[in-house]
Chains A and B, each alone.
Chain A
Amino acid sequence: MHGRSLIDHPGLRRTFPAWLLLGALVIAFCSQSPYFLTGLNVSNILFQAALIGFVACGLTPVVISGNIDLTVGAIMGVCACLVIELQSLGVAAAIVVSLGAGAVLGLLNGVLVEKTGVSSFIVTLAGMVGLRGLAFVLTGDTSVALEDERLSSLIEYQVGPLSVGVLVFIANVLTLHCLLAFTVHGRNTYAIGGHRTAAYDAGIPVSSHVITNFVVSGILAGASGILMAANLGAASPSYGSGYELWAIIAVVLGGTGLRGGTGSIAGTLVAVLALATLRNGLELMSVPPLYEPLIIGTVLITVLVIDTIITPRRAGYE
């Protein structure tokens, strides 16, 4: 790259705020709490990161292609309830059916967006409300508890400090990264977000790429819901509320532009780690949960404003 530093790489440059936040938080919490860097706490952070991470990583390609998916939180709720209610079929079958449900809901989103021409914001905003309702109908408006232990014991299985959930998440991050960075589907996703008409004119099957990304987003939101249900041994139709916002925050903090065409899974991953660290650290320092949203909101806006200020303005072109 003509001796240019890595900082000049446009993709890496955009992940800067996430790195900044993560680094600052790790330094701050290390100095405040001796417990912070222990194995148990780190694996706690990783598990928290995986919960948001599945959703955020699934959302990233959707946003890169110039769309948004607000249904992810509701899909989490639906899939969490499904996996608990279907456990009589066996753990594997319950998981497969729940993930399948996530895929079908994602497909529905994608097809509605592509075939009707209604913007993805509107389609998934309606979907967010409607699917949350579906979760309530599925459970009859009550929490459902796990009757056998198989699902929760599966989640407790560990390899070193990493639980199964975290391992699956890591595999998922690697797969998605390869998908975006090395495949034709990934490249076309960037192209569609960058200039949809030009992508269409280049003969790219725009609709099928966009729909595929919605399906991936649905499946991964489902995975997050299943992980949550397995971890808590129960499910409630309100599971995952607010996760669509966490996911969008992670995606943006990770340097993916909401206008589409830019972004990376690596950025989202770092942002997810930073968010999980922030929440974990606040708990460690026994900040009352009441203050958490206020602090998190303040920190986020500060980081993004700092980033905008220190970014050199582009030179004026003719």
Chain B
Amino acid sequence: MNEFLLEARNVGKAFAGIQALKDVTFGVRAGEIHALCGENGAGKSTLMRILDGSLQPDSGGIYLSGIHKTFSKPLKARRAGVLLIHQEISLVPELSVAENVFLGQLPTRWGQIDGRTLLRATTKLLQECDLDVNPSALVSTLSIAQQQRVEILRAFAFPYSVVIFDEPTASLSEAESQRFFSHVERLRQRDIAVVYISHRIREIFRLADRISVLRDGEISSTFNTRSTNEAEVTQAMVGRSVVHTKNEARNVEGKEVLHLESFSWRPGKGGISLSLHKGEILGLYGLVGAGRSELAETLFGLRAVIQGTLYWKGQSVSIRCARQAVELGMGFVPEDRKTLGLMMELGILENLSLVVLPVLCRSGFILKRREKDLFDKLCRQLGIRTVGAHRPVSILSGGNQQKILLAKWLARRPELLILDEPTRGIDVGAKAEVHALIRSLSAEGIAILMISSEMPEVMSLSDRIVTMRDGSITGKFASHMVTEELLLKHSAPILN
């Protein structure tokens, strides 16, 4: 059977003179998972938005079961059986789970919403998909992982024939991703055509039947999963080979910068004890909800310390606000998928100098020349090609934005830098550059506490790894001694 259920034939699309897609032909068969990967800016999202009717192609067309279709808007595509599930969760927080699942096509009776049918249908769906979510709970009360499951439920609620996932696992932990994969496979069993967009090579290999790589707006190659390997796909994505270097056992014997003793943001057993040395990278691995972000926020004065002591270079201190933490010499890059913690409308230079302004001014006035010098120096150092210092950061690619975020702390020269998911949502090439940047920061003597849900990242960057579960530390490892199995064992939830 070679017939494509949904196919884009010779599709081209340009924005403001920039050719986002050039003559792209991409098809998916019923009962197949076809993965689409490529770096940021390769045109993946544009292609998806053309498939679901959010955008119209300049040339070429969309064919459903071989018949040419024009979807003028996403609703038309949906009615024809094509559903795009967006990267960002698009649920209405004030409505219930059931209402969200059937939103847009709520069952009615005499013009009113038929609550009973709605609830019954949702409960049935939840059982089928083996999900433990209360159908009448408000979406705002659910965790991100639960919300993601509700989002997926939408794909099962109607007899869609094509379901497109745009980076569905970006905010899921390892274990949650595993559960998610089984849902995607269930779709395949139902003979539904699945298009699967992801940065994560490993999960693509786990799921997909075929893999297409989009580069610079063109399909550079299509592979059969069985007859290719990760290196080949990665090389097709970036156009060069990316080598993952594993950390050698570095000998970090710097002075102790941070020491925690039964430290916690909540009362009760245990608390967290650890220490961090000058120039050391400490990886903090755990699943979403293990308390990693909470620990980081408490360190930085964003949450109250309920128990334990924090020693900063041997001195016991209590940090009450971010300002105090910054003045002590800490830096914090929080996890923030949508805005990356940048002022999007503000210029690149303005974002870079944000935390150094206090030393770049005289009696309240900014020393513009020194600010510009700093900017030039940082851009050279980081290899950021800019189109102008004052252009808004929103025009930069995700990878460059992430670099700006790290670089602003580089300018301040903190002694401890806390990074929460520093490479989430950026592509393979940019990821390697951010990793190199993190290494060079630590080489300059900055102690780094890195939170990450990605095992390869934690294992290749860290000097030591600490695993967390349920707000406590479950293990400490030297990174050259650790295995993935060991990390999983110490972070997976205890089943009872």
Contact = CB atoms under 8 A, between A and B. Distances in A.
Q: Do A and B bind each other?
A: yes
Interface string B378-410: 000000000110111000011000000000100
Interface stretch (B168-176, B222-230, B341-349): B341-349
Contacts of A262: 345
B415 to A, nearest CB: 14
Nearest to B346: A194
Interface in A1-51: 1-2, 4, 9-11
A246 B145 CA distance: 47
B390 A184 contact: no
B374 to A, nearest CB: 14
A261 B344 CA distance: 9
Nearest to A259: B345
A149 interface: no
A198 B368 contact: no
Contact of A203 (B18, B322, B343): B322
B46 A184 contact: no
Contacts of A177: none
A48 B20 CA distance: 50
B179 interface: no
B138 interface: no
Contacts, number: 111
Contact of B44 (A199, A314, A318): A318
Contact of B392 (A10, A191, A318): A10
A317 B392 CA distance: 14
Contact of A2 (B325, B332, B350, B388): B388
A182 B368 contact: yes
Question: What is the interface residue range for chain B against chain A?
Answer: 35 or more
A201 B345 contact: no
B339 A10 contact: no
Contacts of A203: 322-323, 325-327, 355
Contacts of B387: 2
A262 B344 CA distance: 10
Which 3 pairs from chain A and chain B are nearest by CB?
Answer: A194-B343, A203-B326, A315-B15
A262 B368 CA distance: 19
A187 B357 contact: yes
Nearest to B339: A195
A250 B336 CA distance: 34
B344 A201 contact: no
Interface string A185-204: 10110110011011111111
Contacts of B302: 201
A interface, by DSSP: helix, strand, loop or mixed? loop
A198 B341 contact: yes
A198 B364 contact: no
Contacts of B391: 10
A242 interface: no
Interface of A: 1-2, 4, 9-11, 182-185, 187-188, 190-191, 194-195, 197-205, 257, 261-262, 312-318
B475 interface: no
A316 B57 CA distance: 13
Contact of A183 (B300, B339, B365): B365
B344 A187 contact: no
23 contacts: A1-B390, A2-B387, A10-B390, A182-B366, A188-B357, A194-B343, A197-B334, A197-B341, A198-B339, A198-B343, A199-B354, A201-B300, A202-B354, A203-B327, A261-B344, A312-B16, A315-B15, A315-B16, A316-B15, A316-B20, A318-B42, A318-B45, A318-B46
A199 B344 CA distance: 12
B207 interface: no
Contacts of A312: 16
A264 to B, nearest CB: 12
Contact of B345 (A183, A200, A257, A318): A257
Interface centre among A182, A188, A194, A318 (most CB of B within 10 A): A318
A183 B41 CA distance: 36
B40 interface: yes
B338 to A, nearest CB: 11
A179 B388 CA distance: 23
Given A203-B325, A316-B49, A316-B55, 7 more contacts: A9-B390, A10-B345, A184-B365, A190-B350, A195-B341, A197-B336, A316-B45
Contacts of B31: none
B324 to A, nearest CB: 8
A204 B332 CA distance: 13
Nearest to B45: A318
Contact of B343 (A1, A10, A191): A191
B93 interface: no
B367 to A, nearest CB: 10
A201 B341 contact: yes
Nearest to A263: B345
B344 A195 contact: yes
